[in-house]
């Protein structure tokens, strides 16, 4: 009945544990460290702007609004060309970067890249990816609105934010909240499914190694 | 933020940069990351599957073995991650005789494996091996996450071989409104995915998990790790978890096709419409005592997805155990170590 019913434990291969899952990717950490530094620089400029332009609380709110408007504009600029400011772009394209890395690793691990990069399927994939990027940009902009609102609320209630890390954590919370709303709606479900399907259509079934 | 001056931010950035420089050095010096701490021996092997017996930690372990059926999508060492975070060690300390199926890493040779292979052949053979070894009609099974869904299918098809069934963070109703994984897979062309890859890559599944909370899981945690780079044990704990997160096996193609379509997209398990080979899985046949353990903040398997079992299984001795925490915390948090293994052991030993 059994394929094997060993009596000697030492003949039992531990083959199921042998593939190396890979050591820690320091690159991932460095990338996020650079992103944190970019965020810090943005916030340093914001703080400078507030110091220079805000004397009373009304000034402060208006100066905050002005700076966040600039922040949103800078983020929008990176949507057109992430290379303009890659670190700032990474602040909001994290999931797209992760997706692209996943797609690349799948190519190298399992399937050959498409033979024709100008094919209709590849163009369709690029178009879908651009739609995905636009959705992420909208979410990033909503996250900045939320952060501006939270900062104003905390200033109004006399609650101080004393460290850059605290600000960063607030930024993460706002992005998670805004991203989470997007994730749960039907548009995201449809678009993320379409993104994967479009990538898969770039590869002819049956041409992958068996 | 009105008290946060530019000078203070500059200071913090400089401090972060110097910690980063030291941290990269610490990461290169941390050495090998070990996982799986409890002593165990392989006792049965079939294809890439290895059945392990964990060495008992009491003089006379419970005579009915407990077989752990883990998910196919991650590696099972999460159950035995490190000395102070090991569900398996807790079960051993409570006097149980613990076995675990390690599915291994499917490769191209496994792309045609179906759920029939996983259920009737692999789980079936492990169950029979333990029944013969212990000369018992039936054994205890602990199914974890996707492994819980597989265990439910097996228990429904061969109820006479399972004495007690424990399901842990197990999805039963895949269409509860808060089920984000179903939400993500709903529009995926599963046939195209399997036909393209053969075996869907583990990285793709990993992306799906990360995409549920990217700013925390792929961003913030790498900033926070800067705080513990000088603390070697804490750093090792972090790296151990990182290793597990990114250690995602590829999925055997045909088994994935059926699981993704029948369970996730069409929710057939709870409807009694899953067919394995030529047999329908009817959860009303799950008549043995059932303990259903779920996490009340589980974002991967929402509590409602697990608790649906109450309505559709046939057991007259059905109970639930709610854990205050999430899908990962239930394996590794210190509270889980205190609460879960003793509760499972008490429940089993009483039956």
What DSSP string runs through B72-133?
Answer: SSS-GGGGEEETTEEHHHHHHHTT--EEEEE-----GGGTT--HHIIIIIIIHHHHHHHHHH
- CATH number for position B198: 3.40.50.1820
Average pLDDT over residues A159-171: 89
pLDDT of A110 strictly over 80: no
Structural domain includes residue B156: yes
**Highest mean pLDDT: which range of B84-88, B203-207, B263-267:** B263-267
pLDDT of B117 strictly over 60: yes
The neighbour count for residue B66, using CB atoms within 10 Å, is: 26
A contact test, residue of B106, B123, B223, B227 with most A CBs within 10 A: B223
pLDDT of A100 strictly over 50: yes
Structural domain includes residue B102: yes
CA distance A46 to A171: 14
CA distance B323 to B340: 8
Enclosing domain of residue B61: 40-349
Token pair, residue B277, equals 């080979």
Which region among A173-182, B133-142, B226-235 has the lowest average model confidence (pLDDT)?
A: B226-235
B288-343 tens-digit pLDDT: 999 999 999 999 999 999 999 999 999 999 999 999 999 999 988 989 999 999 99
Q: In this predicted structure, what is the pLDDT of residue A11? A: 40
Q: In this predicted structure, what is the pLDDT of residue A97? A: 80
Which region among A39-53, A54-68, B242-256 has the lowest average model confidence (pLDDT)?
A: A54-68
Q: N- to C-terminal Cα distance for chain A?
A: 29
CA distance B330 to B344: 13
Average pLDDT over residues A87-106: 78
Interface predicted TM-score of the whole assembly (ipTM), two decimals: 0.90
Structural domain includes residue B10: no
* CB distance B285 to B156 below 8 Å: yes
Rg of chain A in Å (alpha carbons): 23
Residue labelled with tokens 């544990």: A17
Class of residue B102 by CB neighbours under 10 A (exposed 0-12, middle 13-18, buried 19+): buried
B229-245 tens-digit pLDDT: 888 888 888 999 999 99
Q: In this predicted structure, what is the pLDDT of residue A10? A: 38
Q: Measured between CA atoms, how close is A142 to chain B, in angstroms?
A: 15
Give the β-pairing of B275-276 and B279-280. Answer: antiparallel
Listed by number, the residues of chain B in 94-113 with a beta carbon closer than 8 Å to a beta carbon of chain A are 102-105, 108, 111
B253-303 tens-digit pLDDT: 999 999 999 999 999 999 999 999 999 999 999 999 999 999 999 999 999
What mean pLDDT is reported for chain B? 94
The residues pairing with B295 across neighbouring beta strands, listed in sequence order, are B323
Note whether B4 contacts A24, CB cutoff 8 Å.
no
Q: Is some CB atom of chain B closer than 8 A to the CB atom of A132?
A: no
Structural domain includes residue B35: no
List the single residue in B10, B16, B210 with the smallest CB-CB distance to A98.
B210
Give the β-pairing of B49-54 and B139-144. Answer: unpaired
List the single residue in B23, B192, B218 with the smallest CB-CB distance to A200.
B192
CA distance B154 to B142: 12
Q: Is some CB atom of chain B closer than 8 A to the CB atom of A192?
A: yes
List the single residue in A189, A200, A208 with the smallest CB-CB distance to B187.
A189
Sign of CA dihedral A118, A119, A120, A123: negative
Structural domain includes residue B224: yes
What mean pLDDT is reported for chain A? 77
Decide which of A42 and B45 is more confident.
B45
Decide which of A8 and A172 is more confident.
A172
Give the β-pairing of B49-54 and B40-46. Answer: antiparallel
Closest by CA to B276, choosing from B126, B153, B161, is B153
Q: What percent of chain B is predicted at pLDDT more than 70?
A: 99
Decide which of B31 and B102 is more confident.
B102
Note whether A172 contacts B203, CB cutoff 8 Å.
no
* CB distance B265 to B190 below 8 Å: yes
Q: What percent of chain A is predicted at pLDDT more than 90?
A: 22
pLDDT-derived band at B1 (thresholds 50, 70, 90) equals low
CA distance B205 to B209: 6
Note whether A98 contacts B5, CB cutoff 8 Å.
no
Note whether A105 contacts B222, CB cutoff 8 Å.
no
Looking at the structure of chain B, the number of domains it has is: 1
pLDDT-derived band at A207 (thresholds 50, 70, 90) equals very low
Which region among A23-37, A67-81, A169-183, B54-68 has the lowest average model confidence (pLDDT)?
A: A67-81
pLDDT-derived band at A116 (thresholds 50, 70, 90) equals low
């Amino acid at each position: 009945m059994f394929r094997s019913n060993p009596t000697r434990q030492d003949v039992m291969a531990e083959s199921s544990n042998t593939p190396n899952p890979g050591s820690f990717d320091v690159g991932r950490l460095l990338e996020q460290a650079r992103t944190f530094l970019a965020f810090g620089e943005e916030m340093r400029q914001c703080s400078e702007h507030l110091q220079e332009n805000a004397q009373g609380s009304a000034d402060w709110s208006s100066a905050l609004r002005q700076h966040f408007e600039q922040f949103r504009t800078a983020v929008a600029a990176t949507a057109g060309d992430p290379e303009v400011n890659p670190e700032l772009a990474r602040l909001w394209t994290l999931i797209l970067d992760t997706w692209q890395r996943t797609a690349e690793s799948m190519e190298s691990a399992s399937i050959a890249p498409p033979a024709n990069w100008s094919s209709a399927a590849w163009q369709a994939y690029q178009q879908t990816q651009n739609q995905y990027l636009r959705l992420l940009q909208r979410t990033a902009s909503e996250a900045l609105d939320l952060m501006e609102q939270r900062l104003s609320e905390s200033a109004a209630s006399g609650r101080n934010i004393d460290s850059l890390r605290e600000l960063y954590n607030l930024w993460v919370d706002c992005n998670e909240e805004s991203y989470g709303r997007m994730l749960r709606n039907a548009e995201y479900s449809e678009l993320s499914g379409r993104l994967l399907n479009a990538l898969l259509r770039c590869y002819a079934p049956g041409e992958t190694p068996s | 933020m009105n008290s946060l001056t530019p000078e203070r931010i500059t200071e913090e950035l400089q401090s972060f940069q110097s910690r980063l420089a030291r941290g990269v050095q610490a990461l290169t010096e941390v050495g090998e990351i070990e996982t799986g701490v409890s002593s165990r021996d392989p006792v049965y092997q079939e294809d890439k599957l290895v059945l392990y017996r964990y060495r008992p930690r009491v003089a006379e372990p419970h005579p009915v073995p407990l077989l752990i059926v883990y998910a196919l999508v991650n590696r099972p060492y999460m159950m035995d991650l490190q000395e102070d975070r090991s569900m398996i060690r807790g079960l051993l300390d409570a006097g149980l005789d613990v076995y675990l199926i390690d599915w291994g890493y499917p490769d191209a040779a496994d792309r045609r494996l179906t759920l029939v292979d996983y259920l009737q052949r692999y789980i079936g053979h492990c169950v029979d091996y333990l029944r013969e070894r212990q000369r018992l009609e039936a054994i205890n099974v602990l199914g974890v996450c996707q492994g819980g869904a597989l265990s439910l299918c097996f228990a429904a098809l061969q109820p006479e071989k399972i004495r007690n069934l424990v399901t842990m963070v197990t999805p039963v109703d895949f269409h509860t409104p808060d089920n984000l994984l179903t939400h993500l897979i709903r529009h995926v062309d599963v046939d195209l995915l399997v036909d393209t890859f053969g075996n869907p890559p583990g990285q793709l599944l990993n992306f799906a998990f990360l995409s549920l909370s990217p700013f925390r899981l792929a961003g913030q945690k790498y900033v926070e790790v800067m705080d513990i780079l000088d603390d070697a044990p804490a750093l090792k704990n972090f790296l151990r978890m990182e290793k597990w997160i990114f250690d995602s096996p590829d999925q055997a193609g045909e088994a994935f096709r059926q699981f993704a379509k029948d369970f996730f997209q069409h929710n057939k398990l709870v409807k009694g419409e899953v067919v394995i080979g030529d047999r329908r899985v009817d959860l009303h046949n799950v008549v043995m005592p059932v303990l259903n353990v779920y996490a009340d903040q589980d974002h991967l398997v929402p509590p409602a997805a697990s608790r649906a079992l109450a309505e559709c299984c046939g057991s007259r001795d059905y109970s639930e155990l709610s854990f205050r925490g999430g899908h990962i915390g239930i394996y590794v948090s210190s509270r889980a170590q205190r609460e879960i293994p003793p509760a499972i052991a008490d429940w089993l030993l009483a039956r």
